A and B are shown apart, each in its own frame.
Chain A
Amino acid sequence: MKSTRRTHRHAPLIALTTCAALTLAACGIGGGPEDPGGGAADPSAPIRAAWWGEDNQNQALDAAITAFTEAGGPAVTVEPQPWDGYWDKLATQVAGRDIPDVVMQAASQLPTYAGRDALLDLSEVDLDLSGLDDGIRDFGAIGDQTFGVVAATNATGFVTNADLLGELGVAAPEGEWTWADLVTFANEVHTASGGEAWGVQDGSGDMILFILYVRDSGREFYNDDGAINATPDDLRNWFQLWADLRESGAVPPAEATAEASGNLPGSPLATGRAAASFAWTQDYVALQSVTDAALDIALPPYNAESPSLWINAASLWSISAWSENPQGSADLIDHLVNDPDAIETLGVSLGIPPTAAAREQLVDVVSDEERPAVEYMDLVAENSRPLNRLWPDGFADSRTLFGQLGESVAFGDMTIDEALDAFFADAEG
């Protein structure tokens, strides 16, 4: 009995000590990256690579990476993930100071990760970026440091259902056109179809489109210092434009828009209920693969004097600040971006390649569904204007808020004035 009682008496103590130890250990997770990998590491040490993507992308990257290892590179463990969940996992890994050596980044997230010291400044490794298009190289830069290499590019386009427009006898906008022309076009479709079809999907909650709208007038959305340069009047006019379109029936009602959100195959354009929509180039390819109708992609409202469009970084490759093999990681990135075999393996699965050499190599290889997207990017290259600055920290949150406000206005949950007050209050606070 004595022994049992002793155990009893000590059990809580042991429990407490263990808890305390665990707590301390857990709180010690801070620390910060005082000693990032360093250059002295062994360039053949195994590395980990993570990206988000669909099946076809995973297979292509897998094949390209296997070739890299077989050609004498370090062994690579791959950690592919779908987009949903990718960022949750990465954030948790950062908290544990354990992100993969090579990580795919998004332009909207890069400032968050770089600003919090999770990524390596690429000037510390040997990596040739000279092949990348000029405006594109800057996408990985913050200040005078570079944290990412663009893996693929994309751009927003105006996608139309050519079959439906042909049936209705309505012409898609061409050449120089304005946002006012969009309203006319959408109403024309609605009328010509006897109210059956919507002219265009509701884009009121898409901050990227609002940025195009502001840039169309020759101004920038962000000041050089990262503060918002768009005015409350811009936003009021923007929300009003879409509210009027919803009112006239040229744009789907809020319920239909909410239902299709995050679901490309169910979107009004894919189901043939809307004649047009704004979409990223990779979404254009995805849309074309789920509908039998012929889809065209063309420039959004455009004027030659101040083109509103920019070539965007669809994804970037970065290196972990804690990588124990930074040079091996850089070699892998170099392989994925510059190696002709890797370029052929990847094709346009990630988006349009960032180097002219790669695009030239691919032009004959791409499928019929992909070709318009590749050709469209060439059109964009000639008719775009680079952003004055990269997305500031907080861009991702602003964009989420913008979507929520757009939805609230559409459902009549908020007036336009309330929504713009909320947006600008958040931007200032």
Chain B
Amino acid sequence: MLKAETTAAARSAAPVRPGGAALSGGAVRGRAPKPRRSPRRRGEARAGYLFLLPWFIGLVGLVLGPMLVSAYLSFTEYDLFHDPVWVGLDNYRTMFTDDPRYLQSLRVTFTYVVASVPLRLAVALGLALLMNRTVRGMSFYRAVLYLPSLLGGSVAIAVLWRQLFGGEGAVNQILALVGIDGPSWISSPDTSLLTIIVLAVWQFGSPMVIFLAGLRQIPQEVLEAATVDGAGAVRRFFSVVLPLLTPLVFFNVIMQTIVAFQAFTPSFIISNGTGGPVDSTLFYTLYLYIKGFGEFEMGYASAMAWVLVAIIAVFTAVNFLGARRWVYYGDES
């Protein structure tokens, strides 16, 4: 027993601290004695902190500091020109009681998240299954399929989208071939959000890569055993593959939901920064930007940012709670 533990510890420690096995082995065994650090180790620790410093400065100066300031500003009226004036909870109250455009931006963003995340993950998983085969030139196909994700967030693609889905764009030209007279998808309030959701689904690359890695991890023996037991391809997918993938599905759902809540570029470009037509693509972050930099209501924009933080936190927490019911980590018996 003891032997197994030490070897495990040595194995895990070895790559990290070559030569320090004895010391770390001791630590892993959980014996209480606190070994005295040599001057060399103290120097190492100092060097470690020194290496950490640039990151730490960035964290404080670029993340924590501005966050604290924005938390303060969210309780003020601040027009960028004058000193902030404390207004307590006014900004938060206005948002939910006296700002129809804010509520519209919530509606648009929720619709986008609820529609785009499951669709994108479904496409990503489907393509990962297709990619998980041995076919000649597979790495080429993988690269091609990943391409949209490298380009997707960029301004150029959003501009291209305007062209594709415009009144006389490529999509309508193709539809015209089969006799359908398509609307101007981008400029009609009924379909403009849909085109942005399609753009989001098209960027399935990063979840696809993660799913693909997960599929590679599924032991062949398990699948073979299932085949021997008479399970067909569909049954194997739902009873073996999907349950083993649930941790990755969970991870992707969390990450993609957070990303989706923060979507900005597509609506900004496609609507020319207005959220139009008729506010149909007024994403949360776009409205925040309009408020802060267009109408100089930086206090209000800060409050909006904090509400978004809260919304994302709640969604993530709900996901984690729900995950207990369906995520299978393989180490439970």
Contact = CB atoms under 8 A, between A and B. Distances in A.
Contacts of B80: 91-92, 94-95
A411 B278 contact: yes
B278 A408 contact: yes
Interface string B23-44: 0000000000011110000100
A367 interface: no
Interface in B169-225: 183-184, 186-189
A7 B45 CA distance: 10
Given A3-B37, A30-B82, A88-B293, A256 B69 contact: no
Interface string A338-374: 0000000000000000000000000000000000000
A22 B82 contact: no
Contact of B293 (A15, A91, A407): A91
Interface range for A? 35 or more
Given A1-B37, A3-B42, A256-B167, A30 B83 contact: yes
B65 A3 contact: no
Interface string A286-308: 00000000000000000000000
Nearest to A33: B81
A236 interface: no
Contacts of A18: 60, 65
A256 B72 CA distance: 44
B83 A32 contact: yes
B82 A262 contact: no
Nearest to B295: A397
Interface in A388-419: 397, 400, 404, 407-408, 411, 413
Interface in B81-110: 81-84
A27 B189 CA distance: 41
Interface string A1-28: 1011001000000010011001100110
A263 B159 CA distance: 12
Given A259-B184, A407-B277, A22 B83 contact: no
B189 A411 contact: yes
B66 interface: yes
Scoring B34, B36, B82, B189 by chain A CB atoms within 10 A of each residue's CB, the highest score goes to: B189
Contacts of B184: 255-256, 258-259
Contacts of A15: 56, 60, 64
Scoring A1, A27, A87, A259 by chain B CB atoms within 10 A of each residue's CB, the highest score goes to: A259
Contacts of A255: 167, 183-184, 187-188, 277
B103 to A, nearest CB: 15
A129 B137 CA distance: 72
Contacts of B64: 15, 19
A23 B65 CA distance: 6
B79 A116 contact: yes
A407 B280 CA distance: 12
B118 interface: no
Interface in B284-299: 293-296, 298
Contacts of B272: 261-263
Contact of A4 (B42, B82, B279): B42
Contacts of A98: none
A254 interface: yes
B58 interface: no
A202 to B, nearest CB: 12
B166 interface: yes
Contacts of A263: 272
A319 to B, nearest CB: 16
A23 to B, nearest CB: 5
A19 B278 contact: no
A158 to B, nearest CB: 25
A91 B293 CA distance: 7
A263 B45 CA distance: 59
Contacts of B8: none
A4 B37 contact: yes
A117 interface: yes
B317 interface: no
Interface string B57-72: 0001100111011001
Interface in A31-68: 31-32
Given A30-B83, A262-B272, 17 more contacts: A1-B36, A3-B37, A3-B42, A15-B64, A22-B61, A22-B68, A87-B294, A88-B293, A91-B293, A95-B81, A113-B81, A255-B183, A256-B187, A257-B187, A400-B294, A404-B279, A413-B278
22 contacts: A1-B34, A3-B45, A7-B45, A7-B49, A15-B56, A19-B60, A19-B64, A22-B60, A22-B61, A27-B69, A87-B294, A95-B80, A116-B81, A118-B81, A254-B187, A258-B184, A258-B277, A259-B166, A261-B272, A262-B272, A411-B189, A411-B277
Q: Lowest 3 A-B CB distances belong to which pairs?
A: A30-B83, A116-B81, A22-B65
